[in-house]
Every structure is written in structure tokens, then in C-alpha cells.
Chains A and B, each alone.
Chain A
Amino acid sequence: MKYKIFFLILFIIGLILSVIYSGEVDVIYNKAVMICYECIGLG
């Protein structure tokens, strides 16, 4: 059962590192704050 905790900790570390270094958060934020007309079939 220890492997479950191990992988959970790995994912948590990955999440923290990706938030800090990947730059993806801003890309997602910029997409999410505008109405995406093509996403909802109106574009």
C-alpha cells in the first residue's frame, strides 16, 4: 500500500513544480477568462 502514497506524493510534487515552472497556468487562465465561442459551437 505504500506505493499509493508514494505515487500520490510524486503527483503532488509534479503539480507544485508544474505550477511554478511550466507556464501552463497562464495559458489556461487566458483561455478560461474569455468566452470561447468556438468551444461552445457558436464560432
Chain B
Amino acid sequence: MKHNHFRTFVQFIFTLIFNSYFYFVNTFMLYSGSLKKVCCPGLNCYSCPLAVTSCPIGAIQAVAGGMPHKFSLYMFSFLGVIGMSTGRAVCGWLCPFGLFQDLIHKIPFWKYDIKYKFRIMKYTKYMVLIIFVFLMPAFLVDDGGYSKGPSFCKYICPAGTVEAGLPLLAIEKSLPEIGMLFYFKLSILILIIIMTLMMKRPFCRYLCPLGAIYSLFNRFSIYNIKRDTDKCINCLKCEKVCPMDVKLVNIGKDTECIRCSDCVKACPVSALRNGIL
């Protein structure tokens, strides 16, 4: 399959834009300008030394644990605007952790043909979203009545480990002692890296709460992949190249489609196109 270099280029550019605070090497302080009031549309840890924006999942948890109304209207609207506009295109084109997985998958390793297996596991990410992002930060409190913190970031997020935990360990001298929690999170990261070596985008398929939110908009988004059924010859080349195992009949409405456009490129009769409305 011919690789979509343009998409990789766009992913690199956006990763660089969201992580462009190189002044950190002089100050060893996180960026604290106004851009931190805005969220990156993809999964990008705000404790990353280079981050110039906030993480949407971290932001939802911060509001759940820090405000009386628990449910973030700001993030609901922000993700709603992006979801209604592009669906999961953010996962395919903008997310720094998506790029990380795409690059890891290029490493030569035994590839497991997961095509259409374990589809039921895709619902795990909705469980992660409800339990770790909404419920635990909102209702798990200490003796003083304060939230016990962002549970997804604390117990699961591999993006936080790779973008913030490991770099800070490497450069910061005054860190708290590494405990079991860090080794637990490191194990999750290693497990996801091993899975990513074998299959495409396992974190996006099974665990990402941000992907779970965007997937709810996939069927209704303004930007979508369109299929011309008159032109389509049912060769199924689109199914073969799809990183998320979307079936031909579901193109344009599947919750897993990340709008990477690999199917559009692979179609020999131009029956698929990127469409608006």
C-alpha cells in the first residue's frame, strides 16, 4: 500500500504547533500564556514541557473535580464544534498520540491481522470515558471532600507518560520519588507500544476517551467520506487499506472512521471522495 505522506506531514506540523514551547529548556517552567486556555483538539498532555495548549480530556476532568456543576460546558461545546465539523478527522490528522502510534507501527515487527476481530472491544473506550473521565474525578473524593484528581491521566493515559512523565524524568532534577503508580503507567505504555507494533491504532480503537467523544459525531459531521454507489465496483480495496477496519457498506457512518482518506486514495474507480455536508 502506498503510504499517505501528506497526512504524516500534516500530523507532524500539528504536533509541532501544539508542542512548540522550546523556551522550556531555558526556564524549566511550563508555558503559562493565554493559549493554555484553549485546548488541543487531540490528545496532548498539558504537562508536556513543550505544550502550548491544554488537553481536552484533562480539562474535562479538571472541571469535574474542581467545579460544583461537574460537567464541562466549555469542553462539551468545544468538542461539539470540532465533532460536528469533522467527526474523528482529528484522530487521523491532528492527534499527536495518533502520529506516535502510526510511527511505532512502521517499525518492522510481527503484524497481527486483526481485521474485524474483537470489534466488541471498541466499546471499552466508552466505558473509559464514563468511568475514568466523568465519574471518578467528579465523585471520588478524599476525607476533606476534594476530588482525588484526574483518574484517566493518573491511571491510564499513555500520552501523558510519553509526552510528560518520561521527558520530565530525563530533564528535571527536583521530581518527587518514582512510585508504583509510575511503573503501572509505564507498563500500560509498554503494552500499548507492543500492541501498536502488531496492529494499527490499538489505543484509538479500544481506549481513547477523546476518540469515543468524537465518534458520537461521526455519522453527523459536515466533513465526511462519500461513496458513489453507482461507480463502486465492490473490489474492497478500501477495506484492505483501512487502519480502523471500517467495512465498505459503513463508509461515512462508522463510528471508527478516522477520515484518514486512505480508502479514497486506494479506490481504483474514484467512487470515494472527501465530501462536505
**Chain A interface residues (CB < 8 Å from chain B):** 1, 3-5, 7-8, 11-12, 14-15, 17-19, 22-29, 31-43
Contacts and interface: CB of A to CB of B under 8 A. Distances in A.
A24 to B, nearest CB: 4
Given A22-B74, A41-B184, A43-B176, A32 B54 contact: yes
Contacts of B75: 24
A21 B54 CA distance: 19
B25 to A, nearest CB: 15
Given A28-B37, A33-B31, A38-B154, A4 B181 contact: no
Interface of B: 30-32, 36-37, 39, 45-47, 51, 54-55, 58-59, 62-63, 66-67, 72-78, 80-81, 84-85, 149-150, 153-154, 157, 160-161, 164-165, 168-169, 175-176, 178-179, 181-182, 184-186, 220-222, 277
Given A24-B72, A40-B160, A8 B178 contact: no
Contact of A27 (B62, B78, B150, B165): B62
27 contacts: A4-B222, A11-B84, A15-B80, A18-B74, A18-B77, A27-B62, A28-B37, A28-B62, A28-B63, A31-B54, A32-B30, A32-B51, A33-B31, A33-B32, A34-B30, A36-B47, A37-B175, A38-B150, A39-B58, A39-B150, A39-B153, A39-B164, A40-B168, A40-B185, A41-B165, A41-B181, A43-B176
A39 B32 contact: no
A39 B73 contact: no
Nearest to A15: B77
Contacts of A8: 81, 84-85, 222
A25 B74 contact: yes
A26 to B, nearest CB: 8
Top 3 A-B pairs, shortest CB-CB distance = A11-B80, A15-B77, A14-B77
Nearest to A39: B153
B176 A37 contact: yes
A31 B47 CA distance: 9
Contacts of B222: 4-5, 8
Given A32-B46, A33-B36, A38-B149, A24 B73 contact: yes
A23 B169 CA distance: 33
Contacts of A14: 73, 76-77, 80
A26 B63 CA distance: 10
Contacts of B179: 41-42
Nearest to A10: B80
